[in-house]
Each structure stands twice: as C-alpha cells, then as structure tokens.
Amino acid sequence: MAANAQQGHYELYRGTSIGLALADTLDDLISSRRIEPQLAMRIMQNFDEMIAKVLGEKVKARLTFKGHLDTYRFCDEVWTFIIKDVKFKMDNAQQNDGARVKIVACQSKDKLPT
C-alpha cells in the first residue's frame, strides 16, 4: 500500500483481479526475456496512476452501507477499517450483504504532501 515516491500514487489496485493479471503477464514477459524488469516496473507505476485516475473520473456510482465497526487504524496517512455484518445499498436500489469488509482510505493525489 505504499505510495510511489515520485508520482504520489498508491499501489492499492495491484491486488485486484486486473492488477494481478497484469503482474502475471509482466512476469511471463520478463521470464521469456521479451521485456526488461525496469519496463515492467514502469508499466506497473503507470497502472497505479491510470487506474486511480479512471476510477476517479469515470465511476459515478454511489453506495451506502451500514455495519458494525470491528477494527480501525490510521498509519502512514492511510485509514483501514474492518466492518462486520455489512449491508450495502447501491444507487440503483440493489442491496447486498457482506460478513466482513475491509475498507482502505488514502489521501487523494491532490492532497498528498509535497
């Protein structure tokens, strides 16, 4: 969950299915000597920047949730919340439940210290 020191982007989305697929593909390309590790690192940094940008600009869906706060912590400018027995309500009135949800909240790029 570290921020990229040069650009100020978090690596939060590397653990998503698309981030893991990209990492696996880059590993395969490095193993087959089709790209250098330095290029793979730059691609991942670009991924960190662009996925945050696209999600911030293009995703307009909203949801509300209720649950029981089990654990919270604030470390290195990152909030982490563990919520149990969560009920989500989407803006299209669809509802879902979750037994345990982890929420990670970071400063936006605009608010990062320089």
- Give residue 5's pLDDT: 41
Instruction: Judge if 54 and 67 occupy the same domain.
Output: no
> Is residue 112 in some structural domain?
no
pTM of the model: 0.67
Q: Which pLDDT value is given to residue 6?
A: 42
Looking at the fold, whether 25 and 46 belong to one and the same domain comes out as yes
Same domain, 22 and 52: yes
Please state at what angle helix 37-58 crosses helix 17-31, rounded to 10 degrees: 160
Q: What does the H/E/C string look like for the chain?
A: CCECCCCCCECHHHHCHHHHHHHHHHHHHHHCCCCCHHHHHHHHHHHHHHHHHHHHHHCCCCEEEEEEEEEEEEECCEEEEEEEEEEEEECCCCEEEEEEEEEEEECCHHHCCC
pLDDT of residue 7: 45
In the chain, the number of structural domains is: 2
97 domain residue, yes or no: yes
Q: What whole-number distance in Å separates Cα of residue 77 and Cα of residue 19?
A: 23
Q: Same domain for 71 and 87?
A: yes
Specify the CATH number for the domain of residue 95: 2.30.18.10
Both 45 and 73 in a single domain?
Answer: no
31: containing domain: 12-58
Q: For residue 74, what pLDDT is reported?
A: 94
Q: What is the pLDDT of residues 24-83, one digit of tens each?
A: 999 999 999 999 999 999 999 999 999 988 988 898 888 899 999 999 999 888 899 999
Same domain (yes/no): 54, 19:
yes
Q: What are phi and psi of 16, to 5 degrees?
A: -80, 170
Does residue 54 sit in the same domain as residue 79? no
pLDDT tier for residue 84 given thresholds of 50, 70 and 90: very high
92 is a domain residue: yes
- Look at residue 4 and tell me whether its pLDDT is greater than 50: no
Q: What is the pLDDT of residue 110?
A: 59
Domain-located, residue 89: yes
Statement to judge: residues 50 and 67 lie in one domain: no
